């Protein structure tokens, strides 16, 4: 008479039968967690570095890492047993926590790419070695593409970190990562030296009080009403008598200053470690969009005769918003600043169309399309961020309270950045009139 098989025995046999799939899923899960933590922690360098093109590049890399994580998650779910909890495990997260607690931003960025992302590139290559070329073909095709991206990331970042030596911080991260056998856990684990102490448990991370703009001149705001003081005069934007060529220059200044949004949005990722991955995915897209919008102005203004060394960068929004919580920052960004800009920007778009400038029309159209999507993000994700911070109130009430709190904080932190340049040297609306060739 055949003996009955217990459920535990059946489960064990089933696990053995599917061992190859289970091994692949385990590897994919580790890769997903690493890419997700890259999105969360690489963003902490964006507001700390001063080179504008470097900020743009980091935003692009964050967005591409978010894409990697999303495709890996989809493939993992196809195979099963990927897990519904999307948070990174402690042994992975602690490497990232350690990686950002560095004093010099370029040294830290160099270590992040040489160790954290360098080991990820190795892990992707290793995955190709340990999985079957035909059985796991869908995963392999993704990984092959991600390898190309990671190789390009290393090449693109090199000019910015070339001056950073293979110094102590690089060695420190290598020791930390080697102690757990790399991201996939397949390398020989090395014992950390007796004097190695994790830095992150005793050193809380905090965002800087102001963002870094490198060698560029700075001020509190580029918006005002005095054409001898500010490059963007609010009343000129709405005045039908203002020449469209001046409007075009002003909107490019406005777009370039969306670098503010790049810097303060970057702060939200780190402070929401337990957010759903899809929230970080949409925030990564939002971040990349804002960097592109800023680049619209950064790259178009010189073509129209603007010397960017005379254009001061506004810092007030970052300085105020960093005093607020992540849900407050996100509420102001999506439900106030972006939602409130549509009317003025629509008028500007109509005025710029008078110039028959195809490139300007195209850039402004994509800016508007993206901003509409960002407001939709706000409606979707603000309630989720509020819940993460245990804010139990109607969204509309929270937004209104946040708006009032911003106005109060603005009185203290909104005008703390003096002009780097004198009136004679800095770009103003009056000088834009001259550059536009308006009599």
* pLDDT tens digits for range 126-159: 999 988 899 999 999 999 999 999 999 999 999 9
Q: Mean pLDDT throughout 246-270?
A: 98
In this predicted structure, what is the pLDDT of residue 2? 55
**Whole-angstrom Cα distance, residue 35 to residue 300?**
33
Task: Name residue 313's beta-bridge partners.
Answer: 218
pLDDT at 10: 45
Q: Share the mean pLDDT of the chain.
A: 93
Q: How confident is the model at residue 3 (pLDDT cuts 50, 70, 90)?
A: low
Q: Which residue has the higher pLDDT, 8 or 264?
A: 264
- For residue 191, the 8-state DSSP code is P
Neighbouring residues of 360: CB distance < 8 A, sequence distance ≥ 6: 248, 300, 352
Q: Assess whether pLDDT exceeds 60 at residue 385.
A: yes
Amino acid 5: pLDDT: 54
291 token code pair: 């960097």
**Helix, strand or coil for residue 216?**
coil
Cα of first residue to Cα of last residue in the chain, in angstroms, is 104
- Three-class SS of residue 218? strand
C-alpha 9/C-alpha 348 separation (Å) is: 71
pLDDT at position 18: 74
Compute the distance between CA of residue 110 and CA of residue 267 in angstroms, rounded to an integer: 20
pLDDT in tens, 182-205: 888 866 778 777 778 899 999 999
CB-side neighbour CA atoms (13 Å) of 172: 23
Per-residue pLDDT, averaged over 76-94, amounts to 92
Residue 192: per-residue pLDDT: 78
How many CA atoms, within 13 angstroms, populate the side-chain half-sphere of residue 415?
A: 6
Is the per-residue pLDDT at 422 higher than 50?
yes
DSSP annotation of 48 reads: T
Q: What's the token pair of residue 421?
A: 């340049």
pLDDT at residue 11, rounded to an integer: 53
Stretch 288-297: mean pLDDT:
98
- Whole-angstrom Cα distance, residue 406 to residue 276? 27
Max CA separation in the chain (angstroms): 104
pLDDT at 426: 97
SS3 (DSSP) at 81: coil
Give pLDDT, residue 312: 98
Q: Is the pLDDT of residue 164 over 90?
A: no
Q: How far is CA 319 from CA 22, 245, 253, 304, 382, in A?
A: 48, 32, 20, 30, 21
Q: Which residues pair with 233 in a beta bridge?
A: 224
Over pLDDT 90: what percentage of the chain? Answer: 85
% of the chain at pLDDT higher than 70: 95
Sequence-separated (6 or more) residues with CB below 8 Å from residue 91: 180
d(CA 277, CA 29): 13
24-33, 146-155, 167-176, 399-408: range with lowest mean pLDDT: 167-176
């Amino acid at each position: 008479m055949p003996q009955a098989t217990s459920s535990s025995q059946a489960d064990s046999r089933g696990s053995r039968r599917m061992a190859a799939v289970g091994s692949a899923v385990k590897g994919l899960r580790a890769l997903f967690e690493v890419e997700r933590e890259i999105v969360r922690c690489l963003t902490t360098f964006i507001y700390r570095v001063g080179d504008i093109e470097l900020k743009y590049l980091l935003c692009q890399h964050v967005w591409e890492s978010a894409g990697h994580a999303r495709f890996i998650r989809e493939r993992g779910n196809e195979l099963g047993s990927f897990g519904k909890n999307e948070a990174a495990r402690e042994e992975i997260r602690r490497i990232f926590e350690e990686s950002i607690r560095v004093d010099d931003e370029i040294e830290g960025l160099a270590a992040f790419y040489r160790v954290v992302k360098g080991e990820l590139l190795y892990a992707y290559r290793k995955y190709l070695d340990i999985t079957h070329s035909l059985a796991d073909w869908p995963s392999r095709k993704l990984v092959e593409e991600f390898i190309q991206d990671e190789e390009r990331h290393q090449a693109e970042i090199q000019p910015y970190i070339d001056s950073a030596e293979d110094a102590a911080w690089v060695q420190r991260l290598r020791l930390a990562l080697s102690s757990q056998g790399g991201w996939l856990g397949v390398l020989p684990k090395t014992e950390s030296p007796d004097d190695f102490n994790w830095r992150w448990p005793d050193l809380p991370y905090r965002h800087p009080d102001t963002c870094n703009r490198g060698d560029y001149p700075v001020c509190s705001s580029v918006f005002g009403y005095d054409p001898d003081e500010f490059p963007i005069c609010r009343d000129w934007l709405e005045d039908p008598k203002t020449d469209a060529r001046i409007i075009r220059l002003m909107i490019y200044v406005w777009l370039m200053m969306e670098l503010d949004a790049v810097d303060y949005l970057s702060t939200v990722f780190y402070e929401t470690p337990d957010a759903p991955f899809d929230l970080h995915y949409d925030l990564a897209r939002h971040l990349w969009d804002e960097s592109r919008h800023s680049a619209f102005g950064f790259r178009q203004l010189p073509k129209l005769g603007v010397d960017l060394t005379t254009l001061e960068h506004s810092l007030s929004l970052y300085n105020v918003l960093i005093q607020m919580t992540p849900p407050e920052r996100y509420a102001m960004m999506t439900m106030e600043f972006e939602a409130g800009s549509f009317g003025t920007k629509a008028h500007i778009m109509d005025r710029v169309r008078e110039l028959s400038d195809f490139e300007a029309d195209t850039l402004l159209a994509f800016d508007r399309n993206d901003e509409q999507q960002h407001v939709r993000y706000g409606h979707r994700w603000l309630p989720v961020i509020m819940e993460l911070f245990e804010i139990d109130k109607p969204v509309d009430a929270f937004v209104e309270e946040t708006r009032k709190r911003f106005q109060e904080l603005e009185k203290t932190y909104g005008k703390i950045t003096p002009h780097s340049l004198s009136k004679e040297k800095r770009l103003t609306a009056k000088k834009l009139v001259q550059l536009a060739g308006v009599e």
